[in-house]
Structure 1
Amino acid sequence: LSLVVKETLADEADGDAVTVWYTVSGSTSDKADYTVSITASLPAPTVAEANDSAMTIDPADVTGGITVIIPASANLVTGDTVSASVSTAADGTTTTADHTVTAAEAGKALSLVVKETLADEADGDAVTVWYTVAGVKSASALYEIGHSGEDISNVVPVAVEATGKNGTLLQQVDYYRLDSLTIKVPSYRGMASGDTVKIYWVGRAYTYGSNITTVSVIGDIDIPIPRMEFIDTIGYKASVYFTVKKSGSSSEIKSSTLYLDVEGQSLDLKAPDVSDDLKTVTVTYTGMSSEDMVEVRVVGKYTNDTPLAEGDEKTKKIIFHVDSSWLETNEYGYLLYNYAVGVNGGEYQFSQVSRVK
């Protein structure tokens, strides 16, 4: 016996479940489970900027958006409402461009630019492209992200010792006894022996460029940032990136940027004042107490720490003298001066840095 049930499944999606059963004199049969399978009546689109043989899209080619091509076989007619859509799997977003077909466009292939640049996508991430005509969805075209060989704009350096906020916060406990901060350059696309790599630390008031590292083995590279650089950035945000020069090339390729917060302290410790002869260092700060213990550090070719001195509660000023013989042996580009304050016998807090050439 065949019975027609007036259900068209018009509102169901691909993969939805459908259950069928019957009853005879109040007795219910076993149930049969089916799955909705929608066969698209509209052909899949293509992407003008894609490598169709590899089914990949390079973000460098779509900085102005993705051009979705709806084939002539979609048989568009005047007045059709067309929507082209691009969905990125990495962040789950869908971007759409809408258009109404004109008489001149009817029956022809149609190109629509979807304002999606794939800037945050990584190699291998999936991109799905489709369109709808008057609410009817086409078959989908599936692509993968494939950056060009020398593009490292999506590679972010890593601050190894930063433990806060998924590696974007260098906490006080991280930097308190840290001699240098390790910046890891991940193995990047097209990395080759002979490449030269340089880290840039854009701090509170100064940009530090590391020594150049030459790639000898393909893999991650660790490059140190000196203590004075991240100490000078306490309470501020550093921008950290790296550049690569390919062997035989004079141009630099720039990475993405790590924005790294350096946790602040309870005291606001401005940089010390240094005399013209580099020998006298004056320390002043708000809240100075006679119970504070203060010392000055000078970094040149070597490092020199002055003896500890008690805070002067009346003048709010301490004057230190740097050994002349030490200065004579440490003429090494910039001299970096800062000081540390042990508050009431507690842990030290660190000042900003004065740079003297």
Structure 2
Amino acid sequence: MANQNNDSQLLKIDPVKIPGWVSPIEHPQNADGGVPLVLVAGGLIRILVDPWTNQSLEDSAQLLLNESQTIVATQIIGPTQLNQPFSMSFAASLLRDGINLLRLRVARITQPMPETSEPLRVLFHTPRPGGEIAGGGDNPNLLKALPADVITEGIDAARAAQGVAARLSYVYMRAGDVITVDLDGRNIQHTVTEAQAAVGQVVITLTTNDFWQDNARFALRFRVTDLLGNSSGPQAIWSATTYVDVHIRRPVLDLLAPTVLEARDANGTVLNFVRDFYAAQYATVEVKYTGSAPRQSVKVYWIGRNTTYASEVQIVTAVGQTLQFRIPREEVVDTVGSSAKVYYTVRLPDTTEDRPSKPLNITITGQRHHLPEPTLNAAKDNLRTYYPTLDGTYKVRISLTVETIRYDSEEFFITQPSSYTDVVVPSSWIPPNRGKPGLFNYTLRKTGTGEPIIFSWYLRVTL
């Protein structure tokens, strides 16, 4: 009996070897190893056979696949193979997706019955995760879905703390696949479970630590590698990229309404023109808001009677800084007896979004008489000034403001009892300013009294 066992061991055939295969691997069906797709060359997979005991010329090696007795590769031992390792190849297309059994059957010329090795349990995955995609670019089979509110509103600290469910799916999902999620340059990995593979979807909850930096175009994408190292692609490795506005660390802004320092009545909502602004050259808008920090950009807007003035941008240099902006006198005068809306915008560093503040609605009180804007003839050499019925004697003066230069005419007695007076525009005003924006207005002064001069609204023209 002992001699029979010894003879059996001597005649035993070892399983084939697969150069470059992946082993060991953890798999529920106890695979001995696996063949990655990179080992497929010209459609063939190469195996290696070690010499067996009592090998002779004309012995034959036959490779059997799975439960079939069909030979998929064969080799007759010749002088070059005798007692030497040799290789055989077979078509990769014969392998099924999952576990394959490779058996080596050896027929010795000195032995009537062939000997067959124990099966080599080989894992093979085909197609690769996500399927075979020709060419590069984004992989259309790697699908990603984020909540709608995240796409439209982005992610702040509260939303990140709540968790963002990223739903990932792709064809040919298998347990053990490793999903790599690229989070704006940093990667996290997730191993697919049996339950997830069964439904073909993985839900990964991303939290604050995953959104590691603020970025208005925080990039998310993913790729997949299976147990054998087969990557999605093979060239279109990554899914399409989704960009999300991540602003977890962005300060919480409370953009309070600005104040106009010259507006001293009705809790800062009424500016008494004659009392508090008559001789002023500009109105002062003060801006202070919660969340101000260095490098934020602030700009003030004055929406007047028929135009909007936008200030220069100021950059915050210190936390909690109070900023002051000057609104030109012309903008205030052009709103006398009417109202203006004043607000500001804040732009955070490295962003393009201007966030508007709460508005201040301000009323500018009228003067003794309301003077509308003048009109200018087509030749731009006559300005018509208008006024209501007046008591007493008045003189009119016209002016033109171009950029920082102001032109003033002589004073002329108005035409009474007419409701308007035509005043010749001095010939020296227009030629040097052609093509530039100009602001015409006029004033009335009651002669022989100390009453305040009355200012008209502005006519805005291109000279």
* TM-score, structure 2 as length reference: 0.43
Partner amino acid, structure 2, of 1:323: P
Residue 457 of structure 2 corresponds to: 352
Which letter does structure 2 place at the counterpart of 1:286? P
Distance in 1 (CA, whole Å) between partners of 2:430 and 2:313 is 27
Residue from 180, 189, 194 that aligns with 2:282: 180
> Which residue does 1:248 correspond to in 2?
350
8 Å Cα contact 2:253/2:292 also seen in 1: no
User: Which residue in 1 is equivalent to 2:309?
Assistant: 208
Change (3 A) 1:317 1:178: same
Partner of 2:204: none
Tell me: CA distance 1:319–1:257, structure 2 relative to 1, closer, same or farther (3 Å). Answer: same
Q: Does residue 1:311 correspond to 2:421, yes or no?
A: no
The change in CA–CA distance for 1:221 and 1:279 in structure 2 (over 3 A counts) is farther
Q: CA deviation at 1:215?
A: 2.5
How far apart, CA to CA, are the structure 1 residues paired with 2:433 and 2:406? 9
Residue 163 of structure 1 is aligned with which of 251, 264, 269?
A: 264
Shift of 1:157: 0.5
Q: Report the counterpart of residue 334 of structure 2 in structure 1.
A: 232
Give the drift of 1:196.
Answer: 1.6
1:268-279 to 2 correspondence within 5 Å? 268-279=370-381
- Report the CA distance shift for 1:160/1:183 in structure 2 as closer, same or farther (over 3 A): same
Q: Is the 8 A contact 2:392 2:446 kept in 1?
A: no
Q: Retained in 2: the 8 A contact 1:290–1:312?
A: no
Give matches, 1:284-303, under 5 Å. 284-288=386-390, 291-301=393-403, 302-303=405-406
* Cα distance change, pair 311–327 in 1 and its aligned pair in 2 (3 A): same
Query: Over aligned residues, Cα RMSD in angstroms?
Result: 2.3
Q: CA deviation at 1:331?
A: 4.7
Quickly say closer, same or farther: Cα 1:320–1:150, change in 2 above 3 A: farther
Q: Residue type matched to 1:224 in 2? A: R
Find the aligned partners of 2:252 and 2:406 in 1 and give their Cα distance.
40
Equivalent positions of 1:70-89 (< 5 A) are none
1:2-17 correspondence runs (5 A): none
Is the 8 Å Cα contact of residues 259 and 268 (structure 2) preserved in structure 1? yes
CA separation in 1, counterparts of 2:412 and 2:285? 35
Q: Pick one of 344, 365, 376 that aligns with 1:263.
A: 365
User: What do the CA deviations read for 1:131-151 (whole angstroms, capped 9, x no partner)?
Assistant: xxxxxxxxxxxxxxxxx8243
Change (3 A) 1:278 1:150: farther
Quote how far apart the aligned CAs of 1:268 are: 2.0
- Flag the 1:255–1:333 CA change in 2: closer, same or farther, 3 A: farther
Equivalent residue for 1:195, pick from 293, 296, 301: 296
8 Å Cα contact 1:196-1:213 kept in structure 2: yes
8 Å CA contact 1:293–1:311 kept in 2: the answer is yes
Count matched residues. Answer: 211
| Correspondence for 1:343 | 446
Asked if the contact 2:305/2:335 (under 8 Å) is kept, the reply is yes
Q: Which residue of 1 aligns with 2:129?
A: none
Q: Which amino acid aligns with 1:306?
A: S
Does structure 1 retain, via aligned residues, the 8 Å contact 2:389–2:417?
A: no
* Amino acid corresponding to residue 174 of structure 1 in structure 2: D
Deviation at 1:162, TM superposition (A): 1.7
Paired with 2:435 and 2:270, the residues of 1 have a C-alpha distance of: 32
Higher Cα radius of gyration: 2
Shift of the alpha carbon at 1:356?
0.6
User: In the aligned structure 2, how far is the partner of 1:245 from the partner of 1:190?
Assistant: 12
For residues 329 and 349 of structure 2, the distance between their equivalents in structure 1, rounded to whole angstroms, comes to 31
- 2:78 equivalent in structure 1: none
Counterpart Cα distance in 1 of 2:434 and 2:292: 37
Per-residue CA deviations over 1:173-195 (Å, capped at 9, x if unaligned) read: 11211110000111x22322222
Distance 1:242 1:197 in 2: 7
Question: Following the alignment from structure 1 to structure 2, what is the Cα–Cα distance between the partners of residues 284 and 342?
Answer: 14
Q: Which residue of 1 aligns with 2:253?
A: 151
Q: What's the CA shift string for 1:55-99, capped at 9, x where partnerless? A: xxx9x99xxxxxxxxxxxxxxxxxxxxxxxxxxxxxxxxxxxxxx
Letter in 2 for 1:351: S
The structural deviation recorded for 1:326 is 3.1
Higher mean displacement: 287-296 or 252-261: 287-296
Change (3 A) 1:215 1:164: same
Aligned-residue offset at 1:300? 0.9
- State the 1:205 CA deviation: 1.7
Query: Which whole-Å CA distance do the structure 2 matches of 1:288 and 1:239 have between them?
Result: 32
Q: Which runs of 5+ in 1 are unaligned?
A: 1-57, 62-147
Q: Give the Cα separation in 2 of the matches to 1:341 and 1:150.
A: 50
Q: State the distance in 1 between where 2:435 and 2:358 align.
A: 32
State the distance in 2 between where 1:292 and 1:267 align. 12
CA spacing shift, 1:333–1:217, aligned 2, 3 Å:
farther
What's the CA shift for 1:245? 1.1
Distance across 1 between alignment mates of 2:385 and 2:392 = 14
- TM (norm. structure 1) is 0.55
Structure 2 gaps, min length 5: 1-155, 160-249
- The residue matched to 2:267 in structure 1 has which SS? helix
Give how far 1:214 is off: 2.4
